[in-house]
A and B are shown apart, each in its own frame.
Chain A
Amino acid sequence: MNLATYARRNLFRRRGRTILTVLAVAVAVLIFSAIRTVGVTFNAAADDAMSDRLATRHKVSITMQLPRRYIDEVRAIPGVTGATAANWFGAKDPKERIPFFAGFAADDKWFDVFDDMKVDPAQLAEWKTTPSGVILGDILAKTFGVKPGDRLTITSDIYPGDWEFKVVGIYMPQRRTVDRNSLILHWEYLNNDPRAELTKDQIGWVMTRIGGGVKSADMSRTIDKIFDERDDQTVTMSERAFNLSFIGAFAAVLTAFDLVSIVILLIMMLILANTIAMSVRERTNEYGVLRAIGFPPRHIVGFILAESLLVAFVGGLVGIGLVQVLINMGIGPFIEANMASMFPYFRTPPSVMLTALGLALALGLLAGVLPARGASRLRVTDALRRTD
């Protein structure tokens, strides 16, 4: 036997209460991890952005268009290895099988710049020669139930009427954060349609790939300087900054989520503190006996903190197990399959799980501090008299 034996045995003294407290900690860790996962995966696309890809948009707003000729000027800059332009199409599924997906009209170079969207060469070649051809992400194709060769009718928030396309290819993601729910049509096809008269010969944004020795900040300045004296000035940024600009509106929500996740853990701490306080009260007489036979107050503090930490640790481990089963093996794959536009990747990373466990331990320690302090300060004679 050693001193830890007593702390360990105390854990199972009130088995039901300990199990409920462990479950409370586990659920808190699960909820904390789930909420943090939303934030982490929401930012994952930005965090996972390619460092050699730049985005150029109108200086005023992404909603304002740039002249088409800009793309040729960008391509001519030394150090640029590829560039592509696109217009937002505002695609919608007329049958509403999916609430939102990205649809945009891109030029022929799109898949050169976005080589992490892998397309079969034959399908890519067909897309380049088929004006009404579209390439879809694999999950979107599955949702629509289409394969290469099928016809697909899409509507748009921006351009009226039905748009008939021929599915010519499916792209496969080469990285986990690539959106698998996008539809890419031909820029020329859109540009030549009378319904797109207002955006004729205009492009929404430019994506540029730069060579190895080129610094992205230098290239951004170079691009913007070219258009500095024009009517339509540009702002060029890293792909990460570009992606972040889209989720900026959600930043406040994500911050609120973070606060909620902390509150959940604080509630966990109060539950744990209550359990430990009850246990300590029940054992006051015992602590009096231990003190009488010579155990110093620091040992009493140690017993109580060890018990609190053990409950938090076991609860944290159970919580991580729940995260693994319920999120990473359960709703994670489901969300990726059904909400890929928002969450192409939805798994709780080990860093979040370790943070949850670390916070549970820290708060577990904190939960034990007050009861431990109280017990250690009791006069031995008073503690020996207590029988409740």
Chain B
Amino acid sequence: MATEDSIVTLKNVTKTFYRGKEPIKVLEGLDLDVPTGSFEALMGPSGSGKSTLLNLIAGLDRPTSGDVMVAGANLSRMSDGQLAKWRSQTIGFVFQSFNLIPVLTAAQNVELPLLLTDLGSADRKKRVATALRVVGLEDRMDHYPRQLSGGQEQRVAIARAIVNDPKIIVADEPTGDLDRKSADDVLTLMDKLNKELGKTIFMVTHDPAAAEKASVQRKLDKGALQ
């Protein structure tokens, strides 16, 4: 049931894709509540609809039917332009492959989301420095992604995700491309973001160790939450 402090509420959500004319139902009649400030892990076999669900919560896609309410906004009724603006203010993304821009330094990568705000250059720099300090990489500001390890790249990506002070961080297999040590560092950092900064985190993962770090573990199979 939806509660007043739910940051994510999905009601009877269905998502259908089409392969040619053949409909493929990925999510069917799905209900979900994610309380504000929680750290949730979503697990499930490949093809179960994890990424689809994550995309709906992040406002990257719309449901075929049902309502997706995130941080007080009904995403099902928003235009592409409205969704883009909403994402820039509400969501922080962490991807499996880090997805940093190789021609930009760590600081410039972190600064990217701030270019969509009205902040001046000096304010942007302060925020970037703070975000990089939170992830422990203030001394790597001027390094390019190729000069960083995988774990450091993912921490820069996390800094980029939090620099805008988003309400919710969505992470798609954030440890998938990392060794155990780096993965643990990243998970510890995410736990810190959740516990110390109060960020809501919704994470898709195949990694049971990663899921262990979350306060809530959910399983998705054949489009339905178990």
- A residues within 8 Å of B by Cβ? 1-3, 5-6, 9-10, 12-13, 285-286, 289-297, 379-381, 384, 387
Contacts and interface: CB of A to CB of B under 8 A. Distances in A.
16 contacts: A6-B103, A9-B104, A13-B103, A289-B95, A292-B60, A292-B87, A293-B116, A294-B116, A295-B116, A296-B84, A296-B85, A297-B80, A380-B61, A384-B60, A384-B95, A387-B97
B88 A293 contact: yes
A380 B88 contact: no
A289 B99 contact: yes
Interface stretch (B105-113, B185-193, B202-210): B105-113
B104 A285 contact: no
Contacts of A379: 61
B199 interface: no
Interface residues of B, number: 27
B1 interface: no
A6 B85 contact: no
Contacts of A380: 60-61
A382 to B, nearest CB: 10
B202 to A, nearest CB: 15
B89 A294 contact: yes
Contacts of B55: 381
Contact of B104 (A6, A291, A384, A387): A6
A293 B87 contact: yes
Interface of B: 55, 58, 60-61, 80-81, 84-85, 87-89, 91, 93, 95, 97, 99, 101-104, 108, 111-113, 115-116, 160
Given A285-B99, A286-B101, A293-B113, 11 more contacts: A1-B104, A10-B103, A289-B95, A292-B87, A293-B160, A294-B88, A294-B89, A294-B116, A295-B88, A380-B60, A381-B60
B101 A6 contact: yes
Kindly name the residue among A6, A293, A381 whose own CB sees the greatest number of chain B CB atoms within 10 A: A293
Contacts of A10: 103
A171 to B, nearest CB: 63
Contact of A294 (B87, B95, B102, B103): B87
Given A293-B88, A295-B84, A381-B55, A5 B104 contact: yes
Nearest to B124: A1
B108 A1 contact: yes
Nearest to B61: A381
The 4 closest A-B pairs by CB, nearest first: A294-B88, A9-B103, A289-B99, A294-B87
A294 B58 contact: no
B115 A3 contact: yes
A290 B87 CA distance: 11
B111 A1 contact: yes
A293 B99 CA distance: 11
Nearest to A12: B103
Contacts of A2: 115
Nearest to A8: B103
A295 B101 CA distance: 14
B58 A292 contact: yes
B93 A292 contact: yes
B101 to A, nearest CB: 6
A1 B115 contact: yes
Given A380-B60, A384-B95, A294 B85 contact: yes
Contacts of B97: 387
Nearest to A285: B99
B40 to A, nearest CB: 20
Contacts of A12: 103
Contacts of B88: 293-295
B44 to A, nearest CB: 18
B64 to A, nearest CB: 14
